[in-house]
A and B are shown apart, each in its own frame.
Chain A
Amino acid sequence: MKKLLISLVSLAALATFAGCGEQPQTITAKPGTSAAKPDDLPYGEGKLYADRNAWQLQLRARADTQNEYKRFN
């Protein structure tokens, strides 16, 4: 009984080790994944843009319109 209790307590103590230290926070998290549910990607089947490349080209072109030196000349 006593041995069981001691081993249980030490097991619980060991389990708390996992809480020590910070989890890595890097930009290389799996692309397009949410913590709980996957993010709905803005391109693909049934979307405005068929693939990532088409979508990126559109966003680039759109961002470029913010350059008024280009727009005015």
Chain B
Amino acid sequence: MARMKFICDAERCIECNGCVTACKNEHDVPWGVNRRRVVTLNDGIVGAERSISVACMHCSDAPCQAVCPVNCFYKTEDGVVLHDKDLCIGCGYCFYACPFGAPQFPQAGAFGLRGKMDKCTFCAGGPEKDGSKAEIEKYGRNRLSEGKLPACAEMCSTKALLAGDGDVLSDIYRERVMRRGRGGDLWGHATAYGRPDTKATAPAVQSIPQKS
């Protein structure tokens, strides 16, 4: 049985925000709601800076589902965590519980007026009929029912962000890790920001070679 997953390769992500744009465009996500975002830690610090694209990670034991007072979350048979906007009351509990900041609200108004929660659907829509107007308006496009994968991953230029069945993704990533640092390595952080000097053993910041 398939288990849908996202992987983001920190060695490859170049913080182009292509995934963010692809998602926004694909689903016509309203202003202020960001289903996906790119986080850069240690921005500007040579050697320590890494970027990661993050959205709903479709947890196996999803905290949002556990704390939802109206039980509006459900899981598809492929492990995608979806929710029913007709049931959502906009209480914000999923937002407190989620470690990735995935649940988004159209407003953060006084008196807890947040509107209906919106989050990454793994491009699988919601409980409405696939591809129907109601589904597109509430959850965006349903690419999975069209035999496509999430737009963010398919658009990723460095293939840092991968989406799909966990088994397939593991195979891709395993092959990538085995070949990394050898001749065929055309992509990635080391290529863009300098390859480590294989002779250097002394751990010193100054010795990090810049790409000449």
Contact pattern, B 137-150, Cβ under 8 Å of A = 1, otherwise 0:
00000101111110
Task: Assess the A29–B175 pair: CB atoms within 8 A.
Answer: no
Interface of chain B residues 41 through 84 with chain A (CB within 8 A): 60-62, 65-66, 71-77, 79, 82, 84
Indicate if the CB atoms of B84 and A67 lie closer than 8 Å.
Answer: no
Residue of A25, A29, A38, A49 contacting most chain B CB atoms (<10 Å)? A25
Chain A residue at minimum C-beta to C-beta distance from B7: A66
Say how far B165's CB is from chain A's closest CB, in angstroms.
Answer: 6
Number of B residues whose C-beta is below 8 Å from A? 48
Chain B residues contacting A23 (CB-CB under 8 Å) are: 66
Q: Which of chain A's residues has its CB closest to B130's CB?
A: A40
| C-alpha spacing A48/B60, complex, angstroms | 28
Q: Are A55's CB and B147's CB within 8 A?
A: yes
For the A-B complex, the count of residue pairs with Cβ-Cβ distances under 8 Å equals: 105
Q: Which residues of chain A are within 8 angstroms of B162 by Cβ–Cβ distance?
A: 63, 66
Tell me the minimal C-beta distance from B198 to chain A in angstroms: 22
Report the Cα distance A68→B82, complex, angstroms: 30
Cβ–Cβ contact A34 & B144, under 8 A: no
Question: Is A39 a contact of B74 with CB atoms below 8 Å?
Answer: yes
Query: Which residue of A has the minimal Cβ distance to B166?
Result: A63
Which chain B residues lie closer than 8 Å to A6 at the CB level? none
A36 located at the interface, meaning its Cβ lies under 8 Å from any Cβ of chain B in the complex = yes
Return the contact of A25 from the options B65, B126, B176, B179 (Cβ within 8 A).
B65
List A19-73 residues whose CB lies under 8 Å from chain B.
Answer: 22-23, 25-27, 29, 31-40, 42-43, 47-49, 55-56, 58-60, 62-64, 66-69
Q: Closest approach, in angstroms, between the C-beta of A38 and any C-beta of chain B?
A: 7
Q: Can you report 30 residue pairs joining A to B where beta carbons are below 8 Å apart?
A: A22-B66, A25-B61, A25-B62, A25-B66, A27-B75, A31-B76, A34-B84, A35-B72, A35-B73, A35-B74, A36-B84, A36-B127, A39-B82, A39-B126, A40-B127, A40-B129, A42-B144, A48-B145, A48-B147, A49-B147, A55-B147, A60-B164, A62-B148, A63-B163, A63-B165, A64-B168, A66-B154, A66-B172, A69-B176, A69-B184
